[in-house]
């Protein structure tokens, strides 16, 4: 439990620094594009590639291929359940989409990967990345289309994250080694994921006043489902069926709302306040819920 709290404290200190800088210098939040670009196109792909190239062997795939099957089933269940729940909570079309996305996709990458590596090492990180592959594809295809109103494109499957996964698998399966200098670059780049992602979260949340984000009861219901109900169901099923993906599944499901419900709508001038509201409230309450859930795995 102490280790979990220490890692969470480090992450949330970076989040607070981002929020504080955004409040002190009001123009900063509007200039976060470069951080988002580096995170999506450099820092996170290098972390994913490094993890897979070191751990994705033939024996590993034979032992863990079932994780993908379980993940696809879970993703389908969350997708259809979120449609029903969102319609119960609101009649506003775009708000329904934000709720659907939040109940299906949590902050598994920027925050979940960092915690997984800190708590379970590179092997645990590889397990989680493998388990989350269907969710990554969903995020950048159907999820993106849903939040921006654009069409679903097969081209979006081949984004920097999925390409890094594929390349990492190839390098891992064939045991391809890289020069020490390249490994050093990859290591330094991947180390930026956790601090940059949390600073970016803080900067993004600083665009809104605290008062205007905390007054919607529906947001608290969605956050309760995101942080308490879904992890409880997923943990219970994994325990009951004795599934060996329990670490990855629980860690993914107990994460707070991510930034895509803010970032994607901003690309098309949609209202990003519902996403910001969910992100703020879920990050606050996750300080209490994440340690409780992860204590079950320690």
Alpha helices in 143-192 (DSSP H): 144-148, 160-173, 180-190
| Of 187, 198, 49, 231, the residue nearest 110 (C-alpha) | 198
CB of 116 closer than 8 Å to CB of 124: yes
What was the pLDDT predicted at 150? 72
State the distance between the two ends of the chain, measured CA to CA, in whole angstroms: 7
* CA–CA distance, 225 with 281 (Å, rounded to integer): 12
* CA–CA distance, 239 with 289 (Å, rounded to integer): 19
* CA–CA distance, 62 with 72 (Å, rounded to integer): 18
Consecutive H or E run containing 295: none
Each of the 298 residues of the chain gets a pLDDT tens digit; together they read 677 788 888 989 999 999 999 999 888 877 777 888 888 889 999 999 999 998 888 899 888 889 999 999 999 999 999 999 999 999 999 999 999 999 999 999 889 998 998 889 988 999 999 999 999 889 888 888 888 877 666 667 788 888 999 999 999 999 999 999 999 999 999 999 889 888 988 888 888 888 878 888 999 999 999 999 999 999 999 999 999 999 999 999 999 998 888 878 877 777 788 998 999 999 999 999 999 999 888 7
Question: What does pTM read for this prediction?
Answer: 0.88
Count of other CB atoms within 10 angstroms of residue 28: 16
For the record, the structure tokens of 146 come out as 């849903």
Tell me which architecture the domain covering 2-294 has in CATH. Up-down Bundle (1.20)
* CA–CA distance, 57 with 126 (Å, rounded to integer): 11
CA dihedral 280, 284, 286, 287 (to 10 degrees): 150
Q: What is the DSSP string of 120-136?
A: HHHHHHHHHHHHTHHHH
Exposure string over 30-50, b if 16+ CB within 10 A, otherwise e: eebeebbeebbebbbbbbbbb
What was the pLDDT predicted at 212? 77
Instruction: Reduce the secondary structure of 193-241 to three states and give it as a string.
Output: HHHHHHHHHHHHHCCCCHHHHCCCHHHHHHHHHHHHHHHHHHHHHHHHH
Q: How far is CA 153 from CA 1, 142, 279, in A?
A: 43, 8, 27
CA atoms within 13 A on the CB side of 239: 9
What was the pLDDT predicted at 242? 93
What was the pLDDT predicted at 250? 95
What was the pLDDT predicted at 151? 66
Q: How far is CA 280 from CA 17, 291, 296, 298, in A?
A: 15, 18, 25, 27
């Amino acid at each position: 439990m102490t280790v979990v709290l220490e890692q969470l404290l480090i992450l949330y200190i970076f989040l607070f620094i981002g929020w504080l800088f955004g409040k002190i210098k009001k123009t900063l939040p509007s200039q976060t594009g470069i951080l988002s670009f580096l995170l999506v196109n450099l820092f996170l792909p290098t972390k994913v590639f490094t993890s897979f190239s070191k751990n994705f062997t033939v024996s590993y795939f034979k032992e863990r291929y079932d994780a993908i099957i379980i993940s696809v089933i879970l993703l389908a269940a969350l997708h259809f359940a979120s449609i029903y729940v969102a319609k119960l909570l609101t009649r506003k079309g775009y708000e329904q989409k934000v709720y659907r996305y939040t109940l299906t996709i949590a902050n598994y990458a920027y925050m979940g990967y960092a915690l997984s590596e800190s708590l379970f090492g590179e092997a645990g990180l590889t397990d989680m990345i493998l388990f989350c592959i269907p969710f990554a594809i969903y995020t950048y295809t159907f999820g993106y289309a849903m939040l921006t109103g654009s069409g679903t494109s097969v081209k979006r499957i081949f984004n920097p994250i999925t390409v890094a996964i594929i390349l990492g698998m190839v390098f891992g399966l064939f045991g391809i080694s890289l020069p020490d200098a390249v490994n050093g670059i990859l290591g330094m780049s991947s180390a930026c994921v956790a601090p940059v992602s949390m600073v970016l979260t803080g900067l993004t949340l600083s665009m809104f006043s605290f008062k205007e984000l905390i007054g919607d009861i529906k947001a608290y219901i969605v956050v309760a489902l995101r942080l308490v109900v879904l992890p409880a169901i997923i943990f219970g099923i994994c325990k009951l069926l004795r599934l060996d993906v329990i670490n990855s599944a629980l860690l993914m499901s107990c994460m707070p709302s991510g930034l895509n419900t803010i970032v994607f709508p901003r690309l098309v001038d949609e209202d990003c306040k519902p996403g910001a509201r969910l992100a703020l409230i879920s990050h606050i309450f996750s300080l209490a819920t994440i340690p409780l859930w992860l204590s079950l795995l320690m």
